Amino acid sequence: MYLMCKVLFMLLISQVYSSPRKKSYSEIKSCNVGNLAEEIASYDSVVRDIMNYVVSGPFKRKTYDELEKFVDKFGARISGSQVLEDSIDYMIKLTQDEDLTDIVTEELEVPHWVREQEKITMLKPRSKNIAVLGLGKSISTPPEGVTADVVVFSNFEEFDNASIEDVKGKIVLFNPIFTTYHETSPYRTHGAARAAEKGAVASLIRSITPFSINSPHAGVQHYSENVTKIPTAAITLEDADLIKRFYNRGEKVVLNIKMHSSFETKTSRNTLIDLKGTKNPEKLVIVSGHIDSWDVGQGAMDDGGGLFVSWAAPIILKRLNLIPKRTVRAIFWTAEELGFVGVNAYAEKHKNESHNINFIMESDEGTFAPRGLSVAGTQEARCIIAEILKLFESINASTLIETDRPLSDIAFIVQNGIPGASLHNANEKYHWFHHTEGDTMNVENPEELDLCTAFWTAVAYIIADISVDIPR
Amino acid sequence: MYLMCKVLFMLLISQVYSSPRKKSYSEIKSCNVGNLAEEIASYDSVVRDIMNYVVSGPFKRKTYDELEKFVDKFGARISGSQVLEDSIDYMIKLTQDEDLTDIVTEELEVPHWVREQEKITMLKPRSKNIAVLGLGKSISTPPEGVTADVVVFSNFEEFDNASIEDVKGKIVLFNPIFTTYHETSPYRTHGAARAAEKGAVASLIRSITPFSINSPHAGVQHYSENVTKIPTAAITLEDADLIKRFYNRGEKVVLNIKMHSSFETKTSRNTLIDLKGTKNPEKLVIVSGHIDSWDVGQGAMDDGGGLFVSWAAPIILKRLNLIPKRTVRAIFWTAEELGFVGVNAYAEKHKNESHNINFIMESDEGTFAPRGLSVAGTQEARCIIAEILKLFESINASTLIETDRPLSDIAFIVQNGIPGASLHNANEKYHWFHHTEGDTMNVENPEELDLCTAFWTAVAYIIADISVDIPR
């Protein structure tokens, strides 16, 4: 099963990372949703009820408080770990305590990569410890480490222009300045595979972030099938720039890299919670986030916030007795960080029912102040969503961003033509904390999280309840 | 000598940390500097010459490039270390290369505290590594560490209200929210001494910063004479808040703290570079920064920037053949971070010539965009400085902040009635990086640094050249 997922993953990953030219606008040009406009507008009072309940009523601060208890109790929840499985059990219990009992878990095999010793020491031109986080699934070095000269590249183009002699036997440092995650993360995901093509003995990347307090950023990477696997890690912006300055001055930089990790396959679970629809229970509006995290920080932002707004949606609807025509399904994906493993298993397992997914949503890029949705789908589908988003003008969350495929888990669902969206939010500082020890509750804000919860819940309700399916 | 400094230090430190109510204004009310206004205004062309030379002329980016080479070569320069002494030699050579030869070093004894092993592990309610930086001069723990329950206090008032039974045998965590450095740093400098009064076995502080990416902040602390010395360290905002949340929920928090360090006395040097005055060479206008740093980061901001703008001032004046009537003396203080040791030695050694210090300046709170000066002195003295600052309106650096005593080294000079100033600059994020691994060249900006250099040089020149001494 895991192997099958992996193959599927390798086929899809190139598409995810070659994905969208986004363009932002509040109103889709030439949208005409006809009578539906009036119907959608009639949900205004429901939106207000949900808003009041979450922002100033009984659910006020509930998302934040539950998220806080959860991440404090479990901390980091890496794929394949016992703590991740315990946290899944905890979420099931938390949901059952809300009298939601339509809960299914689906087992799958997941990678379990465990970071052990990691140490990088600059030996020349002077002695210095280099802060490090090995990249996901990196192999270990020999016990004495890898010691070699460093060769620095600002981008793949520079690397392509280098000769094999320039790279062979060296440690490659890819030092790209952060532009967007989409543009810069390929240096993390594919840097080691590329460096190995020319005989590098290890590869390092400048952490994928625009800002740092000497903070290394973890993340997954993928070796290529036919290329030697070499140890690979992220270092900080500060150390990457320091090495580059030495290198540009013609001073030889020699590093010793010691890394040790273990890797095995374990069993984990996707968790599916249904609030069954009254009229078309077979039709699904999915709200989702991933429950696993990296092994640093608390995974409060990535993706505790997305997990908890999705947990909250069916609970709030049940509490308010707002049971829509279609089923609202909350999914807690497992093993997102190690390569979208949970979602792939789900897609595979449910491929014969995929026509039943009316709309799929994931929040995995922060739960700061909501601004709207990034929507994948046909123009007709986007017009309907844009009409729904008009109901959120009062909280400044009416923006629709057009995307071919939202990032993260649901990319693997919507690429099959299923319409979907990710939460568009005020996440300008998201990458400051992403995959670092700083991804903790200190990043989260209770008022903003309440707005996300209310927005997420109300959008899911309307889509699940309106008279038409979201067209494909 | 070191002991004498220490006693002097203990007498003065309480005053430094009980210092000023600052108030900001651009114009001193009821200032009338008489004919001096015209004289000062006549320096306008000199200011322009210096600005042009530094900001767009031959000295453009020179301060930044030299700072970069310096901090890259030496990295952190802790008091008493060989690398600090090497860096002092380097600065002397760099100055001699500019044909400034009136250079004196003055030896003094300095503390040499060396951080070795440091590890804090949360044992209950769950296992977690806690990022840590031991505080300066902390004693070591036994090899097995100190293991105890934690008791959390948000401020000294809460601590004062606690009984000895509440604290005895515990690890105290002082968790004050950052307001200003002046208000919050006493938890670092005196937390261990206070906690020990009630029998705590160790003390921790929330790092002195308003912002963190799980970044611990180093800094000095001072044991009291009659109180048991206990190990003491800084932890991050994130971990302090996590511990506090557990504590507030009534969950027992147990930590194991392992720290090992060494402490001895070494010899270091203050460095004095004179550009001798043409008319009153015995009278001094001092520009200064400290050359030592904490043992984390590169000490680029604290206080590499201050060091290099002070280094640049006499060089630029000499290059431009602007030799003022009084002597401009650049001083590179040593061992500031471990307790203002260098400046105390200077004050003691030169106490019989202190009447010759016409004005003393230090930059030790960042060299971001200059805004003006924080000035200590009589109203008459401030009026003259305010008049000089008017010449810097075009770069928005005309603000005079009234202070009883600028922070850092020169506090120990101006408290004797000698007028002085520190650089007022756009340092709103200074404490994000202060005493962390993030204090590197990445914090510095070449254009802003050029503005500081030009401002610092021009102000020193005018004060050293005008027809009147700065009154006391």
B149 and B166 Cβ atoms separated by less than 8 Å: no
Question: Does B115-262 match B22-102+276-465 at the fold level?
Answer: no
Q: How are the residues of chain B apportioned to helix, strand and coil, as percentages rounded to the nearest 5?
A: 40, 25, 35
Q: What pLDDT does residue A453 have?
A: 98
Domain limits, chain A: 22-102+276-465, 115-262
Is the backbone peptide bond immediately before B303 cis, with ω within 30 degrees of 0? Answer: yes
Nearest Cα residue in chain A from B429 = A213
Q: What pLDDT does residue B28 have?
A: 54
Among B19-23, B169-173, B240-244, B263-267, the minimum mean pLDDT is found in: B19-23
CB–CB of A433 and B215 under 8 A? no
pLDDT at residue B6 tops 50: no
Least CB-CB distance to A72: which of B68, B75, B246?
B246
Per-residue pLDDT of chain A (472 residues; tens, 9 = 90+): 444 444 344 444 433 433 443 444 445 556 889 889 999 999 999 999 999 999 999 999 999 999 999 999 999 999 999 999 999 999 999 999 999 999 999 999 999 999 999 999 999 999 999 999 999 999 999 999 999 999 999 999 999 999 999 999 999 999 999 999 999 999 999 999 999 999 999 999 999 999 999 999 999 999 999 899 999 999 999 999 999 999 999 999 999 999 999 999 999 999 999 999 999 999 999 999 999 999 999 999 999 999 999 999 999 999 999 999 999 999 999 999 999 999 999 999 999 999 999 999 999 999 999 999 999 999 999 999 999 999 999 999 999 999 887 767 888 888 888 999 999 999 999 999 999 999 999 999 999 999 999 999 999 999 999 999 999 9
pLDDT band at B185, cuts 50/70/90?
Answer: very high
Nearest Cα residue in chain A from B295 = A128
Contacts of B433 in chain A (CB under 8 A): 213
Axis crossing angle, helix A237-248 with helix B62-74, rounded to the nearest 10:
100
CB–CB of A128 and B75 under 8 A? yes
pLDDT band at B138, cuts 50/70/90?
Answer: very high
What tens digit of pLDDT does each residue of B193-230 get?
A: 999 999 999 999 999 999 999 999 999 999 999 899 99
**Rg of chain B taking only CA atoms, in angstroms:** 23
Residues 6+ apart with CB under 8 A from B394: none
At which residue do the structure tokens 């878990």 appear? A105
Report the SS3 class of residue B261. Answer: strand
What tens digit of pLDDT does each residue of B310-347 get?
A: 999 999 999 999 999 999 999 999 999 999 999 999 99
Burial class (CB in 10 A: 0-12, 13-18, 19+), A131: middle
**Percent of chain B clearing pLDDT 70 (strictly above):** 93
The DSSP bridge pattern shows strands A420-425 and A399-402 to be unpaired
Look at residues B412, B272, B428 and name the one whose alpha carbon lies nearest to residue B336.
B412
Contacts of A126 in chain B (CB under 8 A): 73-75
Mean pLDDT, rounded, of chain B: 93
Q: What pLDDT does residue B29 have?
A: 59
Output DSSP code: residue A254: E
CB–CB of A214 and B242 under 8 A? no
CA distance B151 to chain A (A): 18
Is the backbone peptide bond immediately before A86 cis, with ω within 30 degrees of 0? Answer: no
Look at residues A379, A107, A142 and name the one whose alpha carbon lies nearest to residue A267.
A107
Q: What pLDDT does residue B328 have?
A: 98
Tokens at residue B283, please?
Answer: 């009278």
Average of per-residue pLDDT across B231-246: 98
Q: What pLDDT does residue A21 have?
A: 39
pLDDT at residue B252 tops 50: yes
Contacts of B214 in chain A (CB under 8 A): 215, 297, 436-438, 440
CB–CB of B442 and A212 under 8 A? yes
Residues 6+ apart with CB under 8 A from B434: B181, B208, B209, B217, B301, B302
Write down the CATH number for the domain with range B22-102+276-465. Answer: 3.40.630.10
CB–CB of A437 and B75 under 8 A? no
> What is the number of other CB atoms lying within 10 angstroms of the CB of residue B343?
27
Catalytic residue among B68, B109, B118, B336: B336
Contacts of B75 in chain A (CB under 8 A): 126, 128
Contacting B with CB below 8 Å, chain A residues are 68, 72-75, 125-126, 128, 131, 212-215, 237-238, 241-242, 245-246, 297-298, 432-433, 436-438, 440-442
Give this complex's ipTM.
0.93
Q: What pLDDT does residue A32 have?
A: 86
B375 and B359 Cβ atoms separated by less than 8 Å: no
> What is the number of other CB atoms lying within 10 angstroms of the CB of residue A98?
15
What tens digit of pLDDT does each residue of B368-423 get?
A: 999 999 999 999 999 999 999 999 999 999 999 998 877 678 888 888 889 999 99
Least CB-CB distance to A442: which of B72, B126, B241?
B241
Residues in chain B: 472
**A220 strand-pairing partners:** A136
B373 and B424 Cβ atoms separated by less than 8 Å: yes
Please tell me the distance from the alpha carbon of residue A212 to that of residue A431, in angstroms, as a whole number.
Answer: 10
What tens digit of pLDDT does each residue of B47-99 get?
A: 999 999 999 999 999 999 999 999 999 999 999 999 999 999 999 999 999 99
Residues 6+ apart with CB under 8 A from B243: B122, B150, B152, B173, B175, B235, B253
Burial class (CB in 10 A: 0-12, 13-18, 19+), A256: middle
Longest dimension (CA), chain A: 72
What is the rounded (10 degree) CA torsion for B432, B436, B438, B444?
70
**Best of A213, A245, A439, A443 to mutate (most B CBs within 10 Å, chain B):** A213
pLDDT at residue B149 tops 60: yes
At which residue do the structure tokens 């004062």 appear? B160
Instruction: Tell me, yes or no, if the pTM score tops 0.80.
Output: yes
State residue B372 phi and psi, 5-degree precision.
150, -145
A203 and A171 Cβ atoms separated by less than 8 Å: yes
State residue B160 phi and psi, 5-degree precision.
-60, -35
CATH topology of domain B115-262: Glucose Oxidase; domain 1 (3.50.30)
A216 and A131 Cβ atoms separated by less than 8 Å: yes
State residue A26 phi and psi, 5-degree precision.
-90, -25
The DSSP secondary structure of B8-66, one letter per residue, reads HHHHHHHHHTT----EEESS-TT---TTHHHHHHTTHHHHHHHHIIIIISTTTTHHHHH
